[in-house]
Structure 1
Amino acid sequence: MLEKFMMKDHKDAYRRFRESGLEECVIVQTCNRVELFGKASEADYSGIIRAWSEATGLDGGAFGAMETGEDAEAIRHLLDLVSGLDSMVVGEEQVLGQVRESIASAKDAGASGMHLNTLFDRAARVGTRIRNVTGLGKEGVSVGSMAVRLAEENVNDLKSKGVLVIGTGEVATLVAKSLARRGYSFSVASRTLQRAAAFCEAVGGDPVRFEDVLANFGRYDVSFVATTAPFFLVAYDAVAALSPVSGMMILDLSNPRAVDERIAHIPGVKLMNLDQIGEMVERNMKDRASKAEAIQGTISGEVSALEASMRRLEAEPLVNETFRIIEEIRARELAKAVQMIGDADPRTVRIMEDMSRAVLEGMASTPMNNIRRASEHGDTDVLEAAARIFDYDTQQ
């Protein structure tokens, strides 16, 4: 199950991945995906799996079905993701925000660097532009709204039913917003009544005590359970004791699952989880295909541009260090010249300053831009020659 691969302590996981040989890394972890983007001189998958195994407690053999991609394939996957094409629901609205949060978290942890920061920031802008141009996601489709649609399709006259949302996190917020937009009344339970009340004030719904919900679960015809609890909040025995006649529906949107799966076998109860939302995804495939066809050309162009940008970045340390050394020389020689003049007025010093900078830029810009272009085209021979010419240590 997906939740087994999830990393609870991202800082610890980032430390392990960096120790495995990744120079930069970003964890993208949502309710229906766990992905790792990394930058390294050489891909050491065994080391990465070992670090992932240590971070989750899983045996290394559990990663046998892990999908991998490098360079253009990895870039395309990220662009498909932010554009809404590689989501459980085409155009899924929260994915772009989740990717932004992932790179922000990686930056805070010091795990990402120049390459992945550039890649993710550019990808987020591309995703936003594609969505704006194509209208992809304008319907506001999300896991939360899809769950509400499932309830509407499976429960007659939902507006007359008792509806409950357990949780106050991201997915619970999406469910509550979707319910509120459709005009449904619903109750909200969380770990504390105060937390539920604050949630309801911001999103909608009526707060209820969590203890009351567990004691009177039978009064709710539809329950959306969206928590991060590491145990079953809704237990088999508790629901079986209710002896529901018909019509009770429970949608477990939690990761890990918070509803005992055996409940699905209780007569009169319909239990659905994140995996089963795939049934509605199938109906979404036709729209997905038409949207994808219109977007793939744009994404292909962006993949090429981003690949070039990533290669170009390889030259930046050399270029920046060279400019730094040249600037030091310019400033030092300018100071000597000003001292030799003795009583140079501010205007004269400013003219000398501007002239020295213009000479520096005029002489250095062309070779530095040529080095960048060589890097962009993958010409490592030129980069190595430039490093020797400018006495630059490529290992620093």
Structure 2
Amino acid sequence: MSNIINARVTFRNSPIHVLEKFTFKDLDSAYESFRKHSGLKELVILQTCNRVEIFGSTDKPSMQKIKKTWASLAGLEEMAFKENFEVSEDTEVCEHLLRLTSGLDSMVVGEEQILGQVKDAIIQAKEMRASGEYLNTLFDKAVKIGTRVRNSTGINKGTISVGSMAVKLAEENIDDLKSKKILLIGTGEAATLVAKSLEKRDYHFYVTSRTMERSKAFAETVGGEPIGFEEIMKGFSNYDVLFVATVAPYFLVTFDRIKDAMKSKKDGMMILDLSNPRTVDEKVATIHGIKMMNLDQIAEMVDKNMRYRTNQKNSAEKIISEEIQVLEAHMKRLEIEPVVKEIFKDIDVRRSKELEKALRMLGETDESKVKIIDDLTKAIVEGIISTPMNNLRKASEQSNDDLLKAATKLFDYKKKE
């Protein structure tokens, strides 16, 4: 199989404030640089708020060149990729892309946005003349298969995340949520899901993290208005709803802080702790005017939806496992097509030369007779060569390298650079 590679930095191994550092500010320049310096013959860049991915086709893959080009564009040291970088090749790339278009590799399984983002990525790559036959074929088929998975399984229907459930609970428990002051503490995966849900419902909210830089990066990428961490630690009384989604190993929202905050508040406060481990002191729930829910309680409400989603996910996985074999065979066949075309072309050149000789010897000039003889020679060549060429195509699909090497040697095929 031709060398198809995928290099990526995603939400799975990088929190949003880290992922932001790997993004390309100017995609046109990114395409230009990768084509010049990475050694990739074909290229597609997929960039969303949850992932930055490079898909490429090349004879000699060099991750070092890809990292170097990427680091240069993003203004990073190459060492920055050490813990955040994932790489796939060949069949793994096909499977990864199918999981993307089907919604199986998203934060919220089945979410629809990624399918459109993959479509946009290949359209832009085509417009930039960065992609070619291999990646165009791969992406076009992946989009069709992803659409089929969604239509067949309904995996994109009724899906809900812990983050969106938390927002839904706030809506159900607080009158006129749009008029309330909402604070999100955290910039990780759970916080991202909350932020996306708030943005989708058009709620204004503040976001904070340990550093202002991280809060700003999160706000620019996902949404929210950044605010200083120390400021909110002293001013919980300013907020009506708190979404807490951090990985701190201690209580950020303490009993004393909330008790003091409630002294100056006329209305109550709702606190939703999505942290694991919990970062809101459970005793906070005993304070008058506080309505509190933790991750276990929220997750329990999501459980029914999760069971439904698991069934759909299993169906989607089954379709993908069937389709991946067909797609892989098709991609492998693309590799042998230049050989087949070149062999047909070479034989036809020889046929034409011999036909010209024969016609000169016959002194034949009658156009109708010349056409009959021409068609006859084409039919003979087609009849002789079609079967071995079809067998060659099948051999490529089955990864029969010995037969492929024998055929290229037998027909004296030399790959054009």
Q: Same fold (TM over 0.5)?
A: yes
Equivalent pair of 1:83/1:128 in contact (CA under 8 Å): yes
Q: Please, what is the CA RMSD of the aligned residues? A: 3.9
Amino acid of the structure 1 residue aligned with 2:411 = F
Q: 1:48 aligns with which of 46, 62, 66?
A: 66
Q: State the partner residue of 2:381.
A: 360
Q: CA deviation at 1:256?
A: 6.7
Q: 2:82 aligns with which of 49, 64, 68?
A: 64
Partner Cα separation in structure 2 for residue 312 and residue 3 of structure 1:
38
Q: Does 1:223 align with 2:204?
A: yes
Q: 2:28 aligns with which of 6, 11, 20?
A: 11
**Which one scores higher on RCO, CA 8 angstroms, separation ≥ 6?**
2
Q: CA deviation at 1:24?
A: 2.2
* Cα offsets for 1:21-44 (capped at 9, x unmatched): 223222111121111222233442
TM-score between both structures, scaled by the size of structure 1: 0.67
Please give the secondary structure, in 2, of the residue aligned with 1:35. strand
Q: 2:141 aligns with which of 112, 116, 122?
A: 122
TM-score between both structures, scaled by the size of structure 2: 0.64
Partner Cα separation in structure 2 for residue 69 and residue 332 of structure 1:
48
* Map 1:246-325 → 2, pairs under 5 A: 254-255=220-221, 259-262=225-228, 265=233, 266-267=235-236, 268-269=238-239, 283=302, 285-325=306-346
Q: State the partner residue of 1:23.
A: 41
* Map 1:187-198 → 2, pairs under 5 A: none
Q: State the partner residue of 1:102.
A: 121
Structure 2: stretches of 5+ with no match in the other structure: 1-17, 182-195, 207-211, 247-272, 276-294
Partner Cα separation in structure 2 for residue 48 and residue 73 of structure 1:
18
Partner Cα separation in structure 1 for residue 311 and residue 153 of structure 2:
11
Equivalent pair of 2:219/2:226 in contact (CA under 8 Å): no
Q: CA deviation at 1:56?
A: 0.8
* Cα offsets for 1:269-318 (capped at 9, x unmatched): 45779999997899364444222222222211222222222222221111
Amino acid of the structure 2 residue aligned with 1:101 = D
Q: 2:365 aligns with which of 314, 324, 342?
A: 342
Please give the secondary structure, in 2, of the residue aligned with 1:315. helix
Amino acid of the structure 2 residue aligned with 1:118 = T
Partner Cα separation in structure 2 for residue 157 and residue 352 of structure 1:
88
Amino acid of the structure 1 residue aligned with 2:401 = T
Q: Does 1:383 align with 2:404?
A: yes
Please give the secondary structure, in 1, of the residue aligned with 2:324. helix
Equivalent pair of 2:339/2:413 in contact (CA under 8 Å): yes
Bigger Rg, structure 1 or 2? 2
Amino acid of the structure 2 residue aligned with 1:72 = T
Q: State the partner residue of 2:13.
A: none
Q: CA deviation at 1:149?
A: 6.3
Q: State the partner residue of 2:170.
A: 154
Equivalent pair of 1:85/1:288 in contact (CA under 8 Å): no
Tell me whether 151-160 or 43-52 shows the greater mean CA deviation: 151-160
Size of the aligned set, in residue pairs, is 320
Tell me whether 78-87 or 360-369 shows the greater mean CA deviation: 360-369
Q: 2:394 aligns with which of 354, 358, 373?
A: 373
Partner Cα separation in structure 2 for residue 162 and residue 334 of structure 1:
87
Q: CA deviation at 1:124?
A: 1.0
Q: State the partner residue of 1:228.
A: none
Equivalent pair of 2:101/2:114 in contact (CA under 8 Å): yes
Amino acid of the structure 2 residue aligned with 1:126 = I
Distance 1:277 1:368, change over 3 A: farther
Distance 1:21 1:272, change over 3 A: farther
Q: State the partner residue of 1:211.
A: none
Q: CA deviation at 1:99?
A: 0.8
Amino acid of the structure 1 residue aligned with 2:170 = N
* Cα offsets for 1:228-254 (capped at 9, x unmatched): xxx99x99xxxxxxxxxxxxxxxx774
Distance 1:359 1:87, change over 3 A: same
Partner Cα separation in structure 2 for residue 142 and residue 100 of structure 1:
24
Distance 1:318 1:138, change over 3 A: same
Structure 1: stretches of 5+ with no match in the other structure: 164-173, 180-185, 187-221, 226-230, 236-251
Partner Cα separation in structure 1 for residue 220 and residue 108 of structure 2:
17
* Cα offsets for 1:167-189 (capped at 9, x unmatched): xxxxxxx989965xxxxxx7xxx
Distance 1:178 1:48, change over 3 A: closer
Please give the secondary structure, in 1, of the residue aligned with 2:204. strand
Please give the secondary structure, in 1, of the residue aligned with 2:366. coil
Q: CA deviation at 1:161?
A: 4.3
* Cα offsets for 1:193-237 (capped at 9, x unmatched): xxxxxxxxxxxxxxxxxxxxxxxxxxxxx3279xxxxx99x99xx
* Cα offsets for 1:105-156 (capped at 9, x unmatched): 22222222222222111111111111111112144x699xx98765443242
